[in-house]
Amino acid sequence: MSQLLTIEGLRITLPEGGDRDHAVEAINFDVARNEIVCLVGESGSGKSMIAHAILGLLSPRVKTTGGYIGFGGQDLLTLSRREMQSLRGGRISMIFQEPLSALNPLKKVGRQVAEAIRAHDATLDRAGVDARVVDLFSQVGLPDPERLKGAYPFQLSGGQRQRVMIAMALSNNPDLLIADEPTTALDVTTQRQILDLILKLRDERGMGVLFITHDIGVVADIADRMLVLRRGRMLEYGPADQVLLAPEHDYTRMLLDAVPGRGSVLHKAAGGAPMLEISALRKEFRTRSGPFAKPRVVVAADGIDLKLHQGETLAIVGESGSGKSTLARMVLRLVEADSGAVRMGAQNILGAGRAELREFRRRAQIIFQDPYSSLDPRMTVGESILRGPISFGMPRAQAAAEARDWLVRVGLDAQAFDRFPHEFSGGQRQRVCIARALALNPTLLIADEAVSALDVSVQAQVLQLLSDLKAEFGLSMLFITHDLRVAREIADRIVVMQHGRVVEQNEAAALFAAPQEEYTRTLLDAVPGRAFFARSAALSAAPQRKAMQ
């Protein structure tokens, strides 16, 4: 097979004082025409560095200190600046994770693509460039290319921006496309569209694609070959089917096992009385730019009715803008609803006075998405935990002792008490947040995307911890997530939301087996790796059945 890109013995050195000397070491792989190679790894694995090294885009503090990057018979590490410049966006192009920040906010998107064309083809006249931009825009499936090329990035949706980035990358018919987590910042249905687009373009053009991702589901969907990275080292490399179905390395197996939502769906029937009842909840956000300007209205909640039963985990699933996080905040009155009711027992929380609200919040605790902003950086984690019980009158010494207990219970050390948040990893911080919530002995736990910012292996551990604690203390849980896989992993019942409305709600098993609404089906179909995991589940079930016979 004719190799397009060959990497041998690549080593990238980090500046002194980091957690390790080399970002990556001894990396060998290649990419052929008409092939998608995925680099998979968790954060800190060095996967992005490799992608940046190929085009010489590493930050000046990080240096390639060894190895060979072969492309078109040349070692890219020895190219002059000018030669590298003509290669970039020419024969090799690249797209990035966050399409909003990757586009210049001050320039029309059409012009930004035109710049890429002109940089490599000075002979083309204005009309020629324009025609090519329009052609590229229609190739990447942008609606109404003539109009869109005059738009600024802030006027486009996330998916449209990434399509613009892809059009820019394709503008000089590259042989190799490097895609650095191109779908991570996108909603799941948009992600599916972009992945399909990349597959389609690969087939039409016979490009090689080097695709960097942390999501093994995405790998399963698109990779021809794959490379597993951990802390800068290659663990496994080979055809995707082979690696995924018969992983040789424990870490790869762990990554696969950690993907949520593959096992059997929880079958706990909704028992007991409803402990939380939300009815006809409504919220509009109005922003006005001036006293005479027309207000912009976003409906975050459009008559939501929900019941959470005693001891149940209810997952609320939706894409960005569905109103799911606002819902969580309205329950705790961190955001005030316009109308409707939130009842716990006989009490309507929305009408509660100050003291009642305080007591309700003690019983209903929340864990937030971002483990970096949900702990006060200037306070020891112990102090953060004990301030809750103390404000409800517990003596300090007792609160401190209990806080230490809680830290141990959530899998940390009692010594963690005196340390500051920045000394912990994301997963550890999230454990601290869980300890802080549980220290008040709540009966209801609201988890607002509580595992979304975590690496998949850490995510699995935190989910496990949550369900253990929930069982131990008989909690009920409202679990907000964008990820159907996570919902499937933890929820008894699932509510699907879109545009501030409940689209569908059902027992988890029933919802996955027979979705009733079109939108739910779209969401389910968009889950990355769905086909693969279904297949592998069937494969692993088959021998067992044989054995039983």
Partner 1 sequence: MRKLLTSALGIVLTIFAIATINFMLVRAAPGDPAAVMAGEAGATDEAFLAQIRAEYGLDQPHLTQLGTYLGKVATLDLGYSVRQGESVATLVMERLGPTLLLTLSAFGISLLGGTLFGAIAGKRQGTWTDLAISMVALLLFATPVFWLGLMLVLVLSVKMGMLPAFGYADIRAASYGGFEYSLSVLRHLILPALTLSAIQMAVYTRLMRASLIEVAQEDYVKTARAKGLGEGQILRGQMLRNAAIPVVTFAGLQVGTMIGGAVVVETVFSWPGLGRLTFDAVTSRDYPVLLGLFLVMSILVIAVNLLTDLLHRLIDPRVGVH
Partner 2 sequence: MKNVLSTFLRRPAGIVGLTLLGLIVAMALLAPVLFPVSPWDMSARPFVPPGQDGLLLGSDTMGRDIASGVWHGASVSLIIGIASALTSLVIGVTLGCVAGYFGGWFDLIVVRITEVFQTIPNFVMAIVVVAILSPSMGTIIFAIGVVSWPSIARLTRAQVRTVASREFVAAARCQGQITLSIVMHHILPNAFTPIIVAGSFSVAAAILIEASLSFMGLGDPNHMSWGYMIGAGRTVIRQAWWMSVFPGIAILVTVVAINLVGEALNDALNPRISRQ
Contacts with partner 1 by CB under 8 A lie at 55, 57, 85-90, 93-94, 96, 98, 101-107, 115-116, 119-120, 152, 154-155, 165, 168-169, 171-172, 287, 289-294, 296
**Closest approach of partner 2 to the CB of residue 452, in Å:** 13
Binding residue count for partner 2, defined by CB under 8 A: 29
Closest CA to 309 of 478, 454, 191: 478
Question: Token digits for 307?
Answer: 């019941």
Q: Nearest approach, Cβ of 317 to partner 2 (angstroms)?
A: 21
227 touching partner 2, by CB under 8 A: no
Least distance in Å: CB of 101 to partner 1?
4
> Which of partner 2, partner 1, none has residue 105 at its interface (CB below 5 to 8 Å by kind)?
partner 1
CB–CB of 197/220 below 8 Å?
no
Q: Say which entry of partner 1, partner 2, none residue 147 contacts (CB below 5 to 8 A, set by partner kind).
A: none
Residue 486 binds which of partner 1, partner 2, none (CB < 5-8 A, kind-dependent): none
The nearer residue to partner 1, 179 or 466, going by C-beta atoms, is 179
| Strand 208-213 versus strand 36-40 pairing type | parallel
Q: Which one of the spans 39-47, 48-56, 379-387, 466-474 is the region binding partner 2 (CB under 8 A)?
A: 379-387
| Partner whose footprint covers residue 165, from partner 2, partner 1, none (CB < 5 to 8 Å by kind) | partner 1
Q: Which does 225 bind (CB under 5 to 8 A by kind): partner 2, partner 1, none?
A: none
User: Is residue 155 a contact residue for partner 2 (CB under 8 A)?
Assistant: no
How crowded is residue 204: how many other Cβ atoms within 10 Å of its Cβ? 9
Among 100, 246, 280, 379, binds partner 2 (CB under 8 A): 379
Cβ contact 179:211 at 8 Å: yes
Is 462 an interacting residue with respect to partner 2 (CB under 8 A)? no
Phi, psi of 177 (to 5 degrees): -115, 125
Q: What is the residue-wise DSSP string for 319-356?
A: -TTSSHHHHHHHHTTSS--SEEEEEETTEEGGG--HHH
List the one residue out of 302, 366, 363 whose CA is nearest residue 328.
366
One-letter amino acid of 323: G
Nearest partner of 493 among 265, 238, 165, judged by Cα: 265
Segment (H or E) for 30:
strand 22-32
Determine if 365 is a binding residue for partner 2 (CB under 8 A).
yes
Cβ(432)–Cβ(409) below 8 Å: no
Among 391, 415, 516, 540, binds partner 2 (CB under 8 A): 391
Question: Looking at 451-539, which runs of residues are DSSP E strands?
Answer: 476-481, 493-498, 501-507
Contacted entry of partner 1, partner 2, none for residue 154, CB cut-off 5 to 8 Å set by kind = partner 1
Q: Which of 126, 378, 545, 546 binds partner 2 (CB under 8 A)?
A: 378
Helix (H) or strand (E) holding 383: helix 381-391
Q: From partner 2, partner 1, none, which one binds at residue 86 (CB under 5 to 8 Å depending on kind)?
A: partner 1
Q: Judged by CB, which is closer to partner 2: 21, or 376?
A: 376
Question: Residue 390: which residues within 8 A CB-CB, separation 6 or more?
Answer: 396, 399
Binds partner 2 by CB under 8 A, chosen from 174, 311, 388, 427: 388
Helix (H) or strand (E) holding 219: helix 216-222
**From the CB of 276, what's the least distance to partner 2, in Å?**
15
Residue 169 Cβ vs partner 1, minimum distance, rounded to whole Å: 8
User: Which residues partner with 448 through β-bridges?
Assistant: 480
Question: What does 237 bind: partner 1, partner 2, none (CB cut-off 5 to 8 Å by kind)?
Answer: none
Using the contact rule CB under 8 A, the part of the chain among 243-251, 293-301, 372-380, 480-488 near partner 2 is 372-380
CA 547 – CA 516 distance, rounded (Å): 36
CA atoms of 407 and 146, how far apart (whole Å): 58
Return d(Cα 492, Cα 478) in angstroms, integer.
11
Contact call for residues 282 and 471 (beta carbons, < 8 A): no
Give which of partner 2, partner 1, none residue 168 binds (C-beta under 5 to 8 Å, depending on kind): partner 1
Under DSSP, is residue 369 helix (H, G, I), strand (E, B) or coil? coil
* Shortest distance (Å) from residue 223 CB to partner 2: 36
Nearest-approach distance from CB 75 to partner 2, in angstroms: 34
Give the CA distances from residue 430 to residues 165, 235, 315, 441, 453, in Å, rounded to whole numbers and listed in that order.
34, 28, 19, 18, 10
CB of 387 to partner 2, least distance (A): 6
Q: Which residues bind partner 2 (CB under 8 A)?
A: 17, 329, 332, 334, 358, 361-362, 364-366, 368-370, 373-379, 384, 387-388, 391-392, 422, 433, 436, 440
